[in-house]
Structure formats: C-alpha cells, structure tokens
Amino acid sequence: MRGDKIFLYILLFISALFVVIVFLLGFELYRGSSSIFDIFGFNFILSSTWDPVRGVFGIAPVILGSFLTCFIALILAIPVALLTSYFISELVPSRLKIYITSLVELLAAVPSVVYGLWGILVLVPFLRDNIYVPLQSAFYFLPGFGGAITGYGILTAGILLAIMILPTITSITKEAIELLPASIKEAAIALGAMRYQSARIIFTHIKLTIIAAIMLGFARAFGEAMAVAMVIGGSHLFPNSIFATGYTLPSLIVNEFTEATSPLHYSALIAAGFVLFVIALANIVVARLIIYRTTRFMRLAI
C-alpha cells in the first residue's frame, strides 16, 4: 500500500511538472508578446507593415502565407494520398505491400533540414527553369502570372510541404482502410461495384479517420519551420503573383529570431510564436470537437 502511494506520487509529480512546463510555455509566450499587443492590439494580426526601423509590426501577410502554403500543400497532397493509400491497401499484391509501405514511411522519416537542403539546391532550380518560366511565358496575360521568377516562394514551399505531409496522410488512411471489416469490401464487390465505386464506399466509411489525417497533415505543414525557411524567400509583402515570395509564421521565426534588432522586434517575433501556438491549439480543439461530435452517435447508441 505504501509502495503504491509513493509510486503514484512520483508519477503525479513528474506529470504535474510537465503540465507546469506547458503552462510556463504559454505564459512566457504571452508575456513576451505583451509589449507588442499593448501597442498594436489586434492591428498586429491585421496590418501588413513590417518596419523594424520605425517599430511598426504587422503579420497579416505572414499569417496569410502560412495558410496559403498549407492550403497548397493539402490540395496537392490529399488526392494523391487518398489514391495512393487505396492503391497500396487494395491493389498491391501483398508481397510487395511491405516494401512499398516501408518506402512511403521512409519519406516521413527524412529530417526536415534534408528536405530543405534538397529544396534549395534541387527543387528550386528545377521548378524555376522547367515549370515556372514556361508557365509564365504561356500565361503571362493572366493576372497573377507576372512578376519576377526566382524559384523561391509560396508555391515552392507549398509543393515541398505537400511532399512532406504525403506520407502522414497516406499511412493513416492506409491503416484505416486495412482495419475496415472485409464484409464491407466484399459487399461492394458482391453488388457489382466498379473499382472506383468501391473506393468511394470505403472512403465514406473511414471519413472520420481521413479528416483526422488531414488535420494532422495540416498541423505538420503549419508548424514546419526549417524546410520552409529555406525555400520561401522571405518577404513581408502580400503575394502579388503565384511566383511571389513570402513568409510563414514558423519560417519568420527561424529567419529573424536570433537576429531581432530591438526589444520590440523581438517581442513581435515572440508574438508570432504566440499566434502560431494559438492556431495550433485551435487545430487540436477543432479536431477533437469533430471526433467528439461524430462519435457522439456511436456513444449514444451504446
């Protein structure tokens, strides 16, 4: 009995310590950004002037950049991931499955700096010379296709992020498909469904997991710092073309944090971290809510 108590106290102590640290983190972020919010209030999030000389800071373009890159990443990654996961789980002979699955999971294991290195030294020149320049010469008359092409930018960062979150979404979806009872898949075949119809049925059943996977992918893309910092090109202006450079919240912090030139600048960057923290938190809460609401029926049924 006494041993139990001691053990429990040890566990509680460590866990409480951890919770305190998380609180401390939130508190420090809040405290560090208080000077910025005292001066600018909500304007910090809404304005787009980033002028360290005059002490004016606004991160609207940065927030936009974060969402844009994640949006691009998700648009590119989701269809590919879903189709790939279906392919792997249903259409690949089981001998090959293990190898292919390992390959895909290997993609997830590559450290983000290596993605970044490959990004600046390989992807950027490739996209610039083989895709962006021809694209611009073909569509220069359309709005949004003008501007200088550097190869860096929001689009490139979005593409790199898509590559990085592909394995995440793919492996979660694939696992979900494999966990479905065979009866569903067999029923579809029995009813004479065509392949794509079976796929649709399966996806409907695992809708919840797919949403969870997407939110996880979003979280990963939103918080990615190093790889994005290396290819995004660093600009505080709203993008004026699809080839424009920009910033995301994490890459802004990477590029400017140790190098803030004044206490106010420093506070602005911590505030960016705070905004990042809030959005990441919101993402978790929303994910939890969705899962809660959709499983409500299951729990009610019990």
Partner 1 sequence: MIKKIKLYNILFVAICSLALIITLVPLIWILAEVIANGISAISFSLLTNLPAPPGIPGGGIGNYIQGTIILSAVASLIGFPVGLLMGIFISEYREHKFAPVVRFFVDVFAEFPAIVIGIFVYVIIVRGDIFKLFGINALCLGSICIGPTGFSAIAGSISLALLMIPIVTKSVEEALNLVPTSIKEAALAMGMPRWRMVLTISLSYARGGLILSYILALSRIAGEAAPLLLTVLGSFYWFTSFYDRIGALPLAIFTYGLSPYEDYRAQAWAASLLLILVVLILNIALRILIERRMIR
Partner 2 sequence: MSRLVLSIVIVAIVAIGGVAYWMLSNNPGTSGSQGSQPIRISGAGSTFVTYFLQTAAYYYQQKYGVEVDYASIGSGAGIQQFLANAVDFGATDVPLSTQAWQQAGDALHIPEAIGGVVLTYNIPDLPPNTHLNFTGEVIADIYLGKITKWNDPALVKLNPILANINQPITTVHRSDGSGTTGVFTDYLSSVSQEWAQTVGSGLSVNWPGTNSLGGKGSEGVASAVKNTPYSIGYVEFTYALKNNINYGYVENPSTGEFVAPTIESISKTVSYVALSLPRGDQDWSSVSMVRTFIQMSKSNHTLFGAYPIVTFTYIVIHKELSKIPNMTKEKAQALVNFLKWLVTDGQQYATNLYYVPLPQSVQNLDLQTLSMVTYNGMNL
∠ CA 231-125-139, rounded to 5°:
95
Distance, in Å, from the CA atom of 132 to the CA atom of 128, rounded to the nearest integer, reads 5
Q: How far is the CB of 70 from partner 2 (least distance, A)?
A: 21
Q: Does 263 bind partner 1 (CB under 8 A)?
A: no
CB of 12 to partner 1, least distance (A): 7
Residue 90, by phi and psi: left (phi above 0), alpha (psi -120 to 50) or beta? alpha
Binding window for partner 1 (CB under 8 A); candidates: 52-60, 116-124, 138-146, 239-247: 116-124
> 130: which DSSP letter?
I
How many CB atoms are closer than 10 A to CB 197? 12
Q: Give me the helix-helix angle, 207-223 and 263-301, nearest 10°.
A: 170
Residue 44 as a binder of partner 2 (CB under 8 A): the answer is: no
Using the rule CB under 8 A, give the single segment among 37-45, 146-154, 232-240, 281-289 that binds partner 1. 281-289
The verdict on 137 binding partner 2 (CB under 8 A) reads no
Among 54, 190, 258, 301, binds partner 1 (CB under 8 A): 258
List binders of partner 1 among 187-226 (CB under 8 A).
194-196, 199, 219, 222-226
CA distances in angstroms from 4 to 10, 15, 16, listed in the order given:
10, 16, 18
Phi and psi dihedrals of 57, rounded to 5?
-130, 130
User: Residue 163 interacts with partner 1 (CB under 8 A)?
Assistant: yes
Q: How far is residue 183's CA from residue 157's CA, in Å, rounded to a whole number? A: 42
In the list 108, 150, 203, 226, the residue contacting partner 2 (rule: CB under 8 A) is 150
Interface pick for partner 1 out of 69, 112, 173, 235 (rule CB under 8 A): 112
Nearer to partner 2, 81 or 231 (CB): 231
Looking at the Cβ atoms of 71 and 277, the one nearer to partner 1 is 277
Nearest distance from residue 165's CB to partner 1, in Å? 11
In sequence order, what are the residues at sequence separation of 6 or more whose Cβ sits closer than 8 angstroms to the Cβ of residue 105?
A: 167, 171
Q: What is the largest CA-CA distance in the chain?
A: 79
Please give the residue ranges that form the binding site for partner 2 (CB under 8 A).
Answer: 49-54, 56, 124-125, 147-148, 150-152, 233-237, 240, 244-245, 255-256, 258-261, 265-266
